Amino acid sequence: MAFFAARQPILDREKTLVAYELLFRESLKNVFPDVGEDMATSKIIEGLQFNLGLDTLTENKLAFINFTQETLLQRYPLLLPKEQVVVEILESVPPTRQLLNICKEFKEKGYQIALDDYEHKKVWLHFFPYIDIIKVDLRASSAEQINEIKRAAEPYPGIKLLAEKVETHEEFHQAIEMGFSYFQGYFFSKPEVMRSRTLDPSQLTVARLMTELAGEDPDIAAITTVFETDVNLSFKLLRYAQSPLFKRRNDITNIKQAIITLGLQELRRFVSLLFTAQFSDRKPAALTVMSLVRARFCEHLSAQPGQESSEAGAFLTGMLSLLDGLLDASLPELLEKLPLSPTIKAALIQGQGRLAEYLDTAKAFEAADWPLAQRLCKKMELGIDKVTRLYVDSVRWATVREKME
């Protein structure tokens, strides 16, 4: 039985990735009202211990995990390492004396504690000495309510405020002005300022390599020449090919040998990684990783029986889907400058075709929208359990490749 996994990034004021909130279910049924939250949390713990592992999905960042009243009473957080998790108390948990004693116990053992979807009530003040983070839903809280929470937390300098559902850069900057320290949402994946922008020569060179490799019969001689005329690209290719990930009998001495060692599929991925890495100095690392996850996931889906799209085209579609966020410019304007196939452009701009369905499925997993994921899998005639495993594998793969760059 597959675990449905999603991770939602949490960034600080500098847009540095500091944590992920992990959302798991054993099956799609667990998201419906007739299934208790206790069972869902139990399956989270089971999945982390025996199936997925914290390191796999959090890239050694903190993991925010929801806990219900019953799972807190059963001391389930103690099954996970205190250095890696934040115990997130769901808003449905009542502030009882028993819960207060549990918070004291967890705090003494070194765990960080967060209050989820917090709405201020005076009774919670008894808990504040043991609380590290208060999560506030920006879309469900008024400015007056947020100020009330801030005033209540002022005597406790150890408490940090986390803004949830931050979807635009305007909301991000507003939350900073309100005094929030952490931010959860996909604001970083959307253009900060819509303006005309072109790719610089080095970016355009890599982009052309990407489109050349996306074809059914790439011109290896031409690709080799591009690498040989760019010292920086050559160095990175040779370093990548020397990785222990690739089995080889002899040392690599030239560009053509490096290309043969990688093979077309891995070369495509490498070039795409180079493309996104060019923007990593001014964009959150989480955005680069998300591009890699989408690319690998779309590639996986295209390789399944009955799918008519090419794996190379699917990988490129996923990779380019966040190009507007990476460059802070209009996606149609950027894609116009690239010699992409009409199928890829239709998927990215109009949201049409099978490639668009792959991309929509990736977005459903990112948002933990399991019902939508199920509908899309059914439409593509793919088993949801298998697709879930493909998504988890994509997260693992993207994490390893991003660290290699």
**Model confidence pLDDT, tens digit, residues 245-262:** 666 566 666 788 888 888
Who wins on pLDDT, 160 or 292? 160
- 98-148 pLDDT, tens digit per residue, is 999 999 999 999 999 999 999 999 999 999 999 999 999 998 999 999 999
Average pLDDT, the chain: 81
Residues 271 and 209: beta-carbon distance below 8 Å? yes
| Residue at a domain's end among 142, 158, 189 | 189
Residues 171 and 225 in one domain: no
Where is the domain boundary, 157, 189, 221? Answer: 189
Q: Supply the CATH number for residue 34's domain.
A: 3.20.20.450
Rounded mean pLDDT, 177-205: 76
| Percentage of the residues of the chain whose pLDDT score is greater than 90 | 35
Say if residue 126 is in the same domain as residue 273.
Answer: no
pLDDT over 80 at 314, yes or no? yes
Query: Does a structural domain hold residue 74?
Result: yes
Domain check: are 173 and 254 in the same one? no
Beta carbons within 8 Å of 173's beta carbon, 6+ residues apart = none
**How many C-alpha atoms does 23 have within 13 Å on its Cβ side?**
15
pLDDT for 403 equals: 57
Amino acid, single-letter form, for residue 353: G
Q: Assess if residue 194 is contained within a domain.
A: no
Confidence of residue 31 (pLDDT cuts 50, 70, 90): very low
Q: Classify residue 145: in a domain, yes or no.
A: yes
User: Are residues 162 and 232 both part of a single domain?
Assistant: no
Same domain? 383 vs 331: yes
Tell whether 223 is covered by a domain. yes
CA dihedral (384, 397, 294, 336) in degrees, to 10, reads -150
pLDDT at position 198 is: 56
Mean local confidence (pLDDT), 24-50: 44
Residues comprising the chain, all counted: 405
pLDDT tens-digit readout, 203-241: 777 877 877 787 677 888 888 888 877 777 887 888 777
**Could you tell me if 322 and 173 lie in one domain?**
no
For the chain, the domain total comes to 2
Q: What is the mean pLDDT of residues 31-36?
A: 36
Domain check: are 214 and 331 in the same one?
Answer: yes
Residue 28 pLDDT class (50, 70, 90 cuts):
very low
Is 353 found in the same domain as 294? yes
pTM value? 0.75
pLDDT digit string, tens, across residues 329-350:
788 887 876 767 888 889 999 9
Here the CATH number for the domain that contains residue 239 is 1.10.3210.10
Domain enclosing residue 59, as ranges:
4-189
Among the candidates 189, 216, 235, a domain finishes at 189
What is d(CA 87, CA 116) in angstroms, rounded to the nearest whole number? 10
CA gap 1, 5 in Å, rounded: 13
Same domain, residue pair 205 and 119: no
Let me know whether 21 and 145 are in one domain: yes
Q: Is residue 178 part of a domain?
A: yes
Do 249 and 359 belong together in one domain? yes
Query: Which residues lie below 8 Å from residue 147, measured CB to CB, with a gap of 6+?
Result: none
Residue 22 shares a structural domain with residue 66: yes
Residue 306 lies in a domain: yes
In a domain, 195, yes or no: no
363: in domain: yes
